[in-house]
Structure formats: structure tokens, C-alpha cells
Structure 1
Amino acid sequence: MTTTNVLFEVGLEEMPARFMSDTEKQLHEKTIAWLASIRLKYDQLHTFITPRRFAVQIIGLETKQDDEEEEVKGPAVKIAKDEANNWTKAAIGFTKGQGKSVEDIYTKEVNGTEYIFVKKFTAGQSVDTLLPDFKSVILDLHFPKNMRWSNQTLRYIRPIKWLVALRDEQIIPFEITNVKTSNYTFGHRFLGGKTVITKPEQYEQLLNEQHVIVDSNKRQQKIVNEIKELEQQHNWVIPIDESLLEEVTHLVEYPTVFYGEFEKRFLDIPKEVLITSMKEHQRYFPVMNHTSELQPFFVAVRNGTNQHIEKVAKGNEKVLRARLQDAQFFYEEDQQLSIERNVQQLSKMVFQEQLGTIADKVNRVNKIAKIIARKLSLQDDVTQKVTRASEICKFDLVTNMVNEFTELQGVMGHKYALIFGEDKEVAQAIEEHYLPKSAKSELPKSLVGSVVSVADKLDTIIGCFTVGLIPSGSQDPYALRRQALGIVQIVKERNWDINISELIKEVQQLYIDFTTSDEMANIHEQLHTFFKQRAAYIMKEENIEQDVVEAVLAGKLEKFAFMIEKAHLLSEKRNDLSFKTKQEAFVRVLNLASKVSEEVDVDPQKFKNNEEKALFEKYQAIHTDYLKALTNKKASVAIELLSQLVTPINAFFDHTMVMDKDESIKMNRLALLSYISKDIKQFADLTEINWKQTHS
């Protein structure tokens, strides 16, 4: 089979850097899927992307599809032939549909029934016929934001300026938005020009000569190497933020790293402000020494060569200087204010139209924090710090600095609180109450910060659910899923002995004016399910099986760290052959106890045999110690105590007819099983588990 080399390139106006990694990933996956769909094999496939283009290079592509001969099954013979043994309309229609005649029919037996078949031959098509359809791959790419231009109806990430489509030296014809394919591309906007591509395999080298590095991995590696060179030359430490590195990689076509400096006086500003200004606003890398102290330098990436790099550095220094002067002014002005004045100003900031102002939210957070402190039985001095931190946790939102650098909310609250003489733990909690900021980010380190963080997130979640702002699909504008996950993570990490379901119900009373009591009960169920879903996510992250997760989460959401411990223990037990008879006994109890619809007390006077009496006595013997083991979070001890019931349970079922004709005896026996069932369910609902025994 002969092969050919193919190149497709789409030239556009500059694309947003934040969309480019996903665009290249889509391009790679959709091209592979497209080649599979048209049955063409290849040796290599490369994708490229820069701000002004994305491209696919296919090396060693077969020039023709393989011919196909397939066996096509038709109707059963009894339908394909009539009583006179002639072909019916069904058989004739089938063969015509396959481009065959009844003379091509043969029969085969399938599962005891005879069917008619034909063999269908399909000649493989040439790449010249198939390749123009790559247009569908280009148009199938999707982006978070699209635009239209001129009088075109196509909505795309940016206007298409040129198209390259080559099979060896031959142009593959198609067009998009009146742009026809050609064999010429454009190099760097300022350092390159229009150039003809003669062979697809020379694409990368040719554009490199035009000062375009089309391989994003190579651009990124060039940036990293040059940063490392600067580190060695100046004995610096330049932390490389991965998200910033990815962004600057996608902002340039030919990167050159350089450095600049700023006045040392700006180092009096908190380093978080300087770093944020450099990274978020200017896309600069900060410079540290070997003791992690910020230095008066920055590292940036130019889209071009090192020609006149000194002038470029001076220009960037001028821009940064203006930024830092603003920051210095804001920092000094903010210190002229007071925490109390700022807290009062929060009444002018809307949190959510139905839920009121930020001041209203802070008031609720303060009340929730006190509820949590009470449930955790915190000491008075800690509770006082929780109270103060929750009262002022949002005061920095009205500062000039946070207004300019929104990323620094909490961070500046911490800084300013210390300047204004607040307790260190209170100041730290102001920053930490925003944590965690993502599923994988750090949690609050302090107890005070953890309490205020949970209180703040609970207020947002319960408030939003109360006024109907419930996440659906990918829509979650208030990041409620992330915040609920953060709450469960903190509860787990802190090993808090707290019932999240009961906490939610108590906190809901703060929103009584927003809804009716009937609606509140329904909202509570929704919130309970919502938090269980987040708890399930954390358990799955710990490689706990889905059915074990459901078993442990079947009851109340409490002692979450202990719930995870129980789940890990059950995961071990499900593969333990010696536990098989125990789980069978427990599940049998749970299934029968489910028939009890109302609470019934056990009456020992109604026992009719020794086995039910022995079971009740064993239950009474282990019950208190079992509950104590659960209270002390000793999962192994609890399961061993429960296991002592297995022998009397089996004896009970061997000698006792639970569903006795005498209603009172039947209900008494069911009540006994119900007692045991309640204890088992306090550990987990074992009926949810698929007991896979791996031992033979």
C-alpha cells in the first residue's frame, strides 16, 4: 500500500490563550476519530497550535481505503420464500438494498433458524475523495466563546484568515467562510511573512525559519530552559507557576525570556500584592532568593527574538512601575481606615438579590460559627476568636487593594487585621475562611479558620438552596459544589464529631423568613442529598467501591472521618471468606426487619423457644459496648462485637418461624430483629453491598 503525507492548517486572528490547550486536545482526538471513521491508516499524527493557527500533520497516510467484503444477513428463509419456494418481496427488496440480486443469496443457520445472506463488496475510496471532508473536523471543534464576523453565519473562536490543505504537493480543495484552501501560510506577525509550503513534512521546520515554533511543548520547553539559565546566571530562584507557564506559552509564537527590575522601595508592600500584580496583570514570573524572599526583579516572555531586548525590558519596567505605584497608594490609603468602618460599608454591597447584602451574610455567618463552636464544645477563648473572626471576615472587601486585586480577598484582610492590632489567629482565620479554593487546594490550618470557613460556605449553600439557586448540570454560578466539598473535606481533616445533617437543619432556621416550613423540609432533603454526593466523591477519591460508599452513607452524615474508616474496613471484609457467613446473617436480619413499619418493643415473656431468648440476651450483652465502640470511633471493635450475634442469629433462624400465625408472637420476633437491625445500620446498610468473594 502506497502512502502520502498530509497537512491541514487553519490560520486565525489571535485566539485567547486559555482556550488553546483544549482546542489542540479536541483537534487531536477528533482527527483520530475521523481517520478511523473513513478507514484510513497512518504512521504518525502530530497536532500544533499557536495564537494564530492550529494544524494537523499526518505522516504515512494510506492513499486508499482497503476494499471491504462483508456478509449481510437478511430475513429468515421462512419469510424470504413463499409456499411455492419462490423468493418473496422481502428477499428481493433485501438484495436490491445491498446492490445484489436473488441469484447472490445463500443461506446459513443462526441459533437454530435459517437466514438468507449476501456478500457485499465495497471498493475502497481514494484519499483524493476523502480528504476534503476534513472540513467537518474543523467545523466540529467547539469553544467556550464564539464570534461571528462580516456577513458570515459561522460562529467560531476567531475569524479564519487562511487555510492550508496539502496532500504532498497537491492542494486539497475546500473552503470555509469564503476562504479557500491553499499551499501558503504566514509566519510571525512581525518577523515572518507569507511563505509557500511545498511538502507537509517540512511544515514545522519551515515555520521555525519564519520565527514560529508551532509545537507548544517546544515553546514551553524553550521558556523553561531560558528561565533556568537566568536562575544560574544570577543565583536566583524563579518559581514556575504551571498555569502561568501554560498561559505565556500560548500567548507567543516565538518566545524569548528576559528580565527587568523595579525599585526596592516597593518591597515594603506585602509580597502577595507584588506577586499578584506581576503574575495576574502582567504575566511576569516573580524572582526569589534561596530563602524565599522576594527580589526586586521580574522575568517575562517576549513574542520575538532577543533583538533590542533591553528596550523591551525598559518598557515592561515602566508598565510595572505604574502598577506598583498604584498598589503602594492603595496600601497606604487602606491603612487610614478602620475595621469597624469597613464592616459598616458592607451594608452597601449586595451579596445576592434575595439574600441581602454582604453585611447580612456576615451576620448569618457569625451566628452559624457560634452554632458550630457550640456543637464542637470549643473552649471559651477559642469561641471568642471564632466570634470576632466571623464578625470581620469580609471587612477587606471594601478596601482599595481588594477592589483592584480581587484575588487578594482574605489575604489583605489577614495583613490589615494584624496592622490594626487583631489577634493573630483571628487575622489568620480571615484569610483561611476562603479555603479550600478548589478540590485539591489546601485547607485551613487553624481551628478558628476552619470553623469560619465552614460557616461561610454553609451560609452560601443553604441560602442559595432556600431561594432556588440550586446547581443543575454544569451550571453552578455560586460554586456550591466546590464549597460543599470544602466543608466535607474540613470536617474529615479535622475529624470533627459533628452531624452535618443536624447542623444543616439548625442553620436552616436562620432562613425561616425566606420560605415556608413545608418547603424547608423539602429543601433539607435536597441539601442532605447534595452533601452526601460530595461525601461520596471524597470516598471514591480514596478508592472505596461505589456500593460500599452507598452502604456507609445510607444513614446520617456524621463523624465523616469515621465513616471513611468503616468504609475501608468493609472493603476488606467483602473479600474475606471468613466474613461471608456473618454478612449473610446480618443481611437476613436487615431484610426481615424492613417489614416492621412502626416501632414495637420486645417482650421477653412472649419468647417461645430458647433460641430467640438466647439471641435477645446476646443482643443485650453487646449492645452498650457496641454503641461505645461506635462513639469512640473503633470500627474493628464494633464489627467484632456485632459478629458475636452471628451464631445466635443463625440458631434463631434455624429453629424459629418469624412470621408466626400468632400476630403478637410474629411482631415480637420482628421487633427483636428490628433492634438488631438498628445496630447494624449504625455501622452501615449492608444490604447495599455486593459481596464479592474473591477466594475459592
Structure 2
Amino acid sequence: MHTENLLIELGTEELPPKSLKQLGQSFADNFRQALEDAQLSFDAVSWFAAPRRLAITVSALAQSQEDSVVEKRGPAVSAAFDADGEPTKAALGWARGNGIEVSDAERMVTDKGEWLLYRANVPGQPVITLLESLLNQAISRLPIAKPMRWGSYDTQFIRPVHTLTALYGAEVVPLTALGLNSGRTVLGHRFHGEGKFELVHADNYAQALKAQYVIADFDERAQAIKNELEDKASQLGLVPDYNTALLEEIAALVEWPVVLQASFDESFLAVPKEALIYTMKDDQKYVPLLNQDGSLASTFLFVSNIESHDPSLIISGNEKVIRPRLADAEFFFNTDKKKSLESRVESLSSVLFQKQLGTLKEKSARIASLAGFIAGQINADETQASRAGLLSKADLMTEMVMEFPEVQGVMGKYYALNDNEPEAIAHALYEQYLPRFAGDTLPSHPVSAAVSLADKLDTLVGIFGINQLPKGDKDPFALRRAAIGVLRIISEQQLPLDLNVLVDKAIEVYGGKLTNSQTKDQVIDFVLGRFVSLLQDQGISTDVIQAVSARRPTRPADYTARIAAVAEFKQLDEAEALAAANKRVANILAKQGIDGELAIDGTLCSEPAEQTLYNALMQVKGTVETAAAQHNYNEVLRSLASLRAPVDDFFDNVMVMAEDDKIRQNRLALLLLLRSLFLKTADISLLAKS
């Protein structure tokens, strides 16, 4: 079948930069799905996205659908004809609906009887006639939260659309979408080139736009910007400070990127670099440059959308734009330093944390109390932890943080140092927010860890305590992130902390504010529940996680130690047999209703296999209990692995449910001991077969 490449482009006003990449990808995904649903053959769908356009190309798109055979089964023959062999109303109605006579119907014989059958060849529809519906379907599914109307059009889109280009090879596809009729007109760069031009062939799209100063391919444009940023920074002996999000936002703002170098007055470098970097990145989309030691340079890079004959004018204009922003930061910093953080704590009483849980001043007091308690648990300085907790939210009342919210914590550190607070306290004010996202660094000092844990636990316990549990994807207080932060800090830093103790203390600190009687259990279950996704991301198999979770260990460091031991145990040759034996033992004990303790009498072990298992259990029991008390779960499971042979022999040769009640109870006691020794680490009966 003949194929051609298809191009469809929507020429728009400037699209929202933070949404541009997602819009481009969604456009391609939606159209690909529409083509597949329409059973049209094609090789691939590619997408283009620039500030003033969204486009897709479909390579090797078939000119029509394949012909198909449609089969429609009618009534059973027994119901299609009456006793005289005449068609019944059911048969006549079915035939009429298919445009045939009953006599034209075929017969289909199945195991359940004979049926009337209509079989027809349906020719495939030309792609030209299908595209309008497919395009509108793809557009309607774009992730547009707030569509808008423009001019006299009734249609809605994320921004006004001015051109609709649709070419199948060199042929214009006649279709209508968003109130526009398709053609071959494409908008070029707003300031360079011809402004608009006629596209001859779908295959020429990207190249023709480059001739008009537009790089339509989003990834190509981002890569070009990245390469030029790196090259210019390297020439200066500096390091560009940007991440993927900033790079992609810049790429979404320009169609013809030109990287230029500018600078600001070095006197601004007296302001903490984080505040300067924030305003350059977030407000202006500039790329700060760092010296090799990590300090901020007074030179920065920015990306222009114009290839100017006199770049100095653009550079000068951008330097004029950044100066007042930096001057604001300098003014706020110098003004804020005139008051200590401690003097700002009282003003936190005017800011509500949560209506039922009180103000930020009350939260700070709770963090101080809880941080001091946690510090005592981990041998950190309790006085410093309490002090840091008290000051933890004070920087929220500074001019700098009110203007630039992203630097909360960061400015707390600088202002604390300015107040001559100990370094441990200053760093805790910044590190209380760590980790901020997946993979982020953890607090670097025990005092910081205590404050960070206190802050997160106070939020978790408080919000659960008033029954404001997160539902679905709604988590306004970021409780999931807080829970993961708690787990990571405790487990990765091997802190000797128990969630039972921590949550009890957090509840106590709240006094009578909490109304949910299930707060403790719900918080602990919620936090432990975050372990599943956290460990799965690390490649831990689900059955290993389930085996440990069944024991509900509430010490995160202990939890991860058990995970490591069970994962290692699962690789042993003995693991599968012992897991199966544990499952069998669990079922036997459950049927007998046994979940307590039973005494074992060695003299009642009459069978050789029974005596062997008894001796083996007695031999490893002390080792296992000592190792478990020391949280050495690898040693626990290695010792228990030696029981494989006696356990197998026992089940092969001994009848557990003996007629003699004393012997039966003694054998159940043996199995209960076996089970309880394994349960000191995990429920290995839940391990899947290899």
C-alpha cells in the first residue's frame, strides 16, 4: 500500500513554557493512539514543540485503512424459521438491519448450534477523510487545565491558534480544527526571516523552519542551548549552574537560541549566593556561573531569542533588568540582619500552621521539645537541638524569605551565623528541610537530623491527629514526602530510633489538641507503608519486603537490616525448602489455634527424626536469640539455614498429629519453636519460589 509522511502543525501565540514539553509529548501520544484505534498503518509519530507551535509528523502513514471482513451473527436457525420454514420476525428484522434478504444469509455452525451469519467485505477508508476526526480527538485530550477563547471563535485552546498546517506528503489535507481550515502556511520566527512561508512538503518541515530561524525540535533546541552554555562557561573557566528543569524552561522560551554573557556589580556578592542564584534562575531564567570552589561569579549567561547584529544592546538591557532584582535582595539581606532570629519568634504567633493545630510559634515550640528529645536518643547536643527547633521557622518572618520563599532555611542559616549562633544550630536551620525530594542529601549533623525528624514527625502526627489523612493524590501537607524523609534519615544514618517512641513523644507534645484516638497506629502504619515503594525503588523484591513487613518492625534501621538479611537468605539453596516448611508449620499451628508458647519435653521425642530436630533446635536456639538481640539478622538466618535437613526429615518421617495428646502437643511445641526462631527476623513463609 502507498504511504507518505504526514505533518500537522498548530501555529499559536506563545505557549506556557512549563507546559510546552508535556503538550508536545501528549499531542504525539494522543495522535498515535488515535491512529492505532483507527487501524491505520504507520512507522512512528514524532513531536515538535516551540514557543509558537505544536507539531507532529507521522512517518510512512498508509493512504487508507486495510480492507476488512465484518461478521454479524444473527438469530439461531431454530429461532429464525417457523414450523413452515418461513422466516420469523427476528430473522427478517436482523436481515433488514444488515441490508440483505434472509435467503442471502450464510450459516455458521458451532458446538452450540447453527446460526444465521452475515459476512461483508468493508473497504478501508482513505486517511484523508479520517484525519480531521483523529486530529480533533488528539487535541481534545491534551492536558490543558485552563483553556481560553479568543476573537470571535467559539473554540477553546491553551493559547490562540492562528495557523493550521496539514500536509500528507506534498498534498494539503483538507480539515478543520480549532475554527481554522488547514493549509500549508507556517509561521516562522517572529523577528527573523519571512514571518510566514508556504511549506512545500511534509518532509521539509524541520529544515524549512531552520531556514526561518526556528529550531522546532524541542530536544535538539535544548541540547544546542546546553552545548553552548557549557562551551561559554568552559572558556571562562567557570561552571554553569542549571538543572534539567531550568534548561527545558529556557528551551521553551526561545525558538532560535543565542547564548550571551553578561555581568553584575561584584558588590552584590556580599549577599548569600543562594538568594542571588534564586532570583537569577527563577525570576529571569538566567544561568548563574560558579567558580571552581563553588562560590558565585559576577558573570552569568542568558539565552536570547534574537541573533542580533549588536549583542551589546541585548546584554546591556539584561544587565539593567537584573540589577534592581539583586539590589532588592541586597536591601532585604542588610535590613534583616538588623534583627535577630530570636526576636522574630514571637511574630510567628501571627501565622497559622493549621487552624486546629495552632500557629507557627506553637509549632516551633513543639519542634524544640521533640528535637531535644530525639537528640537525647542519638547522643546529640539536646540544648542545641532545642534551640535550633525554636528558631527553625523564624526566617519565614524575614523580608528576604517573604520575597523569595525558596530560600527559607538557607537564609535561616546565614542569619543564625550573623547572630553568632553555634554552627550546628545554623546548619540545622537549613538542613531541617532535607531531604526535599527523592535522592536528595540528608542532614549532615546529628543536631540537624534531630530537628529535621522533629519537624516532619510534628506535621505527620498533627495532621493525622485531626483526621486530615491524605487521600488519593491529595496531600497538601506533603505527608508522604515527610514519611520518606523520616525513614531515610533514620535508616540510612543508622540511628537507634523507634517509631513507637517518637510518635508517642510527638503526641505527648501536642497536649490535648489531637482528636483522633488512632493517631499512633495510623502514623506508624503510614510511615512503614512508605518503606515498600522506597525499597522497591532500590530493587528489593516484593516478597522480601512482605516477609519483613509481616513482623512490623518499628525501628527503620532494624527494618532495613532485616531486609538485607532476608534478601541474602533467599539466595541460599536452603531458602526455598525452609520457606515451604515455614508455610506448612504456620498452617498447622493456625488450624490448632496455637499462637502462644508451649513447653518442650525432650524425653517425649521418641522418633529419631523428631529427636534430631529437637537437638538441632536446641543447638541453634541460643545463637539465634543472641544474634537477634544484637540485630544481627544475617547470623540468625545463616544459623537457621542449618535446619533444612532435620526439618525435611521430620516432615518425611514424623506424624505431627499423633494420637497420644502429650506427644502431639510436644511435636506442636517443636514446630512452634521452629517458627518463632524464624519470626525473630521475618515471616519467610511469604517468600516466593525462585
TM (normalized to structure 2)? 0.90
Native 8 Å contact 2:128 2:174 kept in 1: no
Residue in 1 aligned with 2:27? 27
Q: For 1:44 and 1:588, how far apart are their aligned partners in 2?
A: 53
Identity of aligned residues (%): 33
Change in CA separation of 1:596 and 1:623 when aligned onto 2, cut-off 3 Å: farther
2:238 to 236, 239, 252: 236
1:520 to 498, 517, 522: 517
Residue in 1 aligned with 2:227? 225
Q: For 1:550 and 1:562, how far apart are their aligned partners in 2?
A: 15
> What are the superposed Cα offsets for residues 434-478 of structure 1, whole Å, 9 maximum, x if unpaired?
011111222222222122111111111121112222222221111
Matched, 1:582 2:578: yes
Q: For 2:612 and 2:618, how far apart are their aligned partners in 1?
A: 10
Q: For 2:541 and 2:113, how far apart are their aligned partners in 1?
A: 43
Secondary structure of 1:351's match?
A: strand
Matches within 5 A, 1:512-551: 513-516=512-515, 519-521=516-518, 523-551=519-547
2:370 to 364, 368, 375: 368
- Alpha-carbon offset, residue 487 of structure 1: 1.2
Native 8 Å contact 2:428 2:447 kept in 1: yes
Q: For 1:91 and 1:496, how far apart are their aligned partners in 2?
A: 79
Matches within 5 A, 1:130-145: 130-133=130-133, 134-145=135-146
Q: For 2:152 and 2:680, how far apart are their aligned partners in 1?
A: 67
Residue in 1 aligned with 2:638? 640
Secondary structure of 1:295's match?
A: strand
Q: For 1:441 and 1:318, how far apart are their aligned partners in 2?
A: 35
Q: For 1:514 and 1:167, how far apart are their aligned partners in 2?
A: 67
Moved more, 144-153 or 477-486: 144-153
Secondary structure of 1:514's match?
A: coil
Matches within 5 A, 1:606-617: 608-610=604-606
Native 8 Å contact 2:579 2:684 kept in 1: yes
Residue in 2 aligned with 1:461? 460
Matches within 5 A, 1:154-553: 156-191=157-192, 192-376=194-378, 378=379, 382-511=381-510, 513-516=512-515, 519-521=516-518, 523-553=519-549
Q: For 1:205 and 1:41, how far apart are their aligned partners in 2?
A: 26
One-letter amino acid of the counterpart of residue 438, structure 1 = F
Native 8 Å contact 1:288 1:295 kept in 2: yes
Moved more, 181-190 or 84-93: 84-93
Q: For 2:249 and 2:617, how far apart are their aligned partners in 1?
A: 64
> What are the superposed Cα offsets for residues 48-79 of structure 1, whole Å, 9 maximum, x if unpaired?
11122201123432212221236666777777
Change in CA separation of 1:608 and 1:94 when aligned onto 2, cut-off 3 Å: farther
Moved more, 329-338 or 600-609: 600-609
- Alpha-carbon offset, residue 322 of structure 1: 0.6
- Alpha-carbon offset, residue 250 of structure 1: 0.1
- Alpha-carbon offset, residue 356 of structure 1: 1.1
- Alpha-carbon offset, residue 406 of structure 1: 1.1
Change in CA separation of 1:533 and 1:126 when aligned onto 2, cut-off 3 Å: same
Matches within 5 A, 1:661-680: 670=668, 672-680=670-678
Residue in 1 aligned with 2:127? 127
Native 8 Å contact 2:171 2:201 kept in 1: no
- Alpha-carbon offset, residue 537 of structure 1: 1.0
Q: For 1:427 and 1:620, how far apart are their aligned partners in 2?
A: 55
Moved more, 384-393 or 594-603: 594-603
Secondary structure of 1:683's match?
A: coil
Residue in 2 aligned with 1:46? 46
Native 8 Å contact 2:372 2:383 kept in 1: no
Q: For 2:341 and 2:448, how far apart are their aligned partners in 1?
A: 18
> What are the superposed Cα offsets for residues 613-661 of structure 1, whole Å, 9 maximum, x if unpaired?
7656654543332132223333331112223444554555556655567
Secondary structure of 2:534's match?
A: helix
Native 8 Å contact 1:8 1:56 kept in 2: yes
Q: For 2:148 and 2:199, how far apart are their aligned partners in 1?
A: 29
Q: For 1:129 and 1:361, how far apart are their aligned partners in 2?
A: 64
Secondary structure of 1:163's match?
A: strand
Q: For 2:198 and 2:346, how far apart are their aligned partners in 1?
A: 66
Secondary structure of 2:48's match?
A: strand
Moved more, 413-422 or 2-11: 2-11
Secondary structure of 1:49's match?
A: strand
Secondary structure of 1:182's match?
A: coil
2:682 to 676, 681, 684: 684
One-letter amino acid of the counterpart of residue 409, structure 2 = G
Secondary structure of 1:610's match?
A: coil
Native 8 Å contact 1:40 1:61 kept in 2: yes
> What are the superposed Cα offsets for residues 516-538 of structure 1, whole Å, 9 maximum, x if unpaired?
4xx422x3333233222210112
Q: For 1:273 and 1:23, how far apart are their aligned partners in 2?
A: 32
One-letter amino acid of the counterpart of residue 634, structure 1 = N
- Alpha-carbon offset, residue 548 of structure 1: 1.8
Q: For 1:689 and 1:99, how far apart are their aligned partners in 2?
A: 61
Q: For 1:288 and 1:545, how far apart are their aligned partners in 2?
A: 42
Change in CA separation of 1:659 and 1:86 when aligned onto 2, cut-off 3 Å: farther
Secondary structure of 2:65's match?
A: coil
TM (normalized to structure 1)? 0.89
- Alpha-carbon offset, residue 81 of structure 1: 7.9
> What are the superposed Cα offsets for residues 78-125 of structure 1, whole Å, 9 maximum, x if unpaired?
777888888877777766666665645254556x97777654421011
One-letter amino acid of the counterpart of residue 199, structure 1 = H
Residue in 2 aligned with 1:9? 9
One-letter amino acid of the counterpart of residue 520, structure 1 = S
Change in CA separation of 1:485 and 1:99 when aligned onto 2, cut-off 3 Å: farther
Q: For 2:540 and 2:113, how far apart are their aligned partners in 1?
A: 47
Secondary structure of 1:441's match?
A: coil
Matches within 5 A, 1:548-627: 548-571=544-567, 573-574=569-570, 576-595=572-591, 600-604=596-600, 608-610=604-606, 618-627=616-625
Matches within 5 A, 1:55-70: 55-69=55-69
Moved more, 472-481 or 114-123: 114-123
Q: For 2:617 and 2:185, how far apart are their aligned partners in 1?
A: 85
Q: For 1:601 and 1:29, how far apart are their aligned partners in 2?
A: 60
Native 8 Å contact 1:108 1:117 kept in 2: no
One-letter amino acid of the counterpart of residue 563, structure 1 = Y
- Alpha-carbon offset, residue 334 of structure 1: 1.3
Secondary structure of 1:17's match?
A: coil
Change in CA separation of 1:469 and 1:325 when aligned onto 2, cut-off 3 Å: same
